[in-house]
Amino acid sequence: MSENESTTEDLALRMSRWLPATPDEAFDAYTDAEKQKTWYSILDEEPGIVEIDVDLRVGGTQTAVWGPSRDQLFREVQTFVEIDRPHRLVTDSTGSDPSGVEMTTHIEVTFEPDGDGTLMTVVQSGFPMPEVRDFFTSEVWVGAFLRIEAFLRTPAARLSSRG
């Protein structure tokens, strides 16, 4: 392989964000279907479609379907590979855009106590090309972190669905 070539294993991102919640609250916001339905659209000016189903167990899946309308839906199915609540979550993710183009990546998320909050770190690997990785770095995860943080600042975030 030449210097300028890379493999999908090389095409990874690592991002972190401090969140105003305990690791338990941040983990639940990220994995609980009802909480996800709220934060997926919390910053949207107009409501769109958000459908999420979660079977939170190793080998289980999370299926998320979202978009502004039925003919413009994104879809992601994550298979849970490792769950160490509330510290670490590892998934294999296959997503598609409204045109049907698919991509499969590997995602590791950690939740570490940090002062009076949590440091959430995402490592995602397996991108097909640098431009896609860069889009996920500059848009997808930035948007997800903003939405999760906005949700965690609401009273609903403090209500535990894990009882």
Residue 96 belongs to domain with CATH number: 3.30.530.20
| Contact (CB, 8 A) for 12 and 124 | yes
pLDDT-based confidence at 116, cuts 50/70/90? Answer: very high
- 119 vs 2, higher pLDDT: 119
Q: Provide the whole-model pTM.
A: 0.89
Q: Which helix (H) or strand (E) holds 38?
A: helix 33-41
Residue 6 included in any domain: no
The answer, yes or no, to whether residue 1 has pLDDT greater than 90, is: no
Specify the amino acid at residue 64. Answer: A
Please give the average per-residue pLDDT across 72-101, as a whole number.
96
Residue 118 included in any domain: yes
Query: Which domain covers residue 29, as residue numbers?
Result: 12-155
Residue 4 included in any domain: no
Q: Identify the CA nearest to 128 among candidates 4, 9, 6, 8.
A: 8
Q: What percentage of the chain reaches a pLDDT higher than 70?
A: 91
Residue 163 included in any domain: no
Helices 33-41, 141-152: crossing angle, 10 deg rounding: 110
| Contact (CB, 8 A) for 91 and 84 | no
Per-residue three-class SS string for 59-118: CCEEEEEEECCCCCCEEEEEEEEEEECCCEEEEEEEEECCCCCEEEEEEEEEEEEECCEE
The DSSP letter of residue 30 is H
The predicted-structure confidence for 120-140, as pLDDT tens digits, reads as follows 999 999 999 999 999 999 999
Q: What is the total count of domains within the chain?
A: 1
Q: What pLDDT is attached to residue 155? A: 83
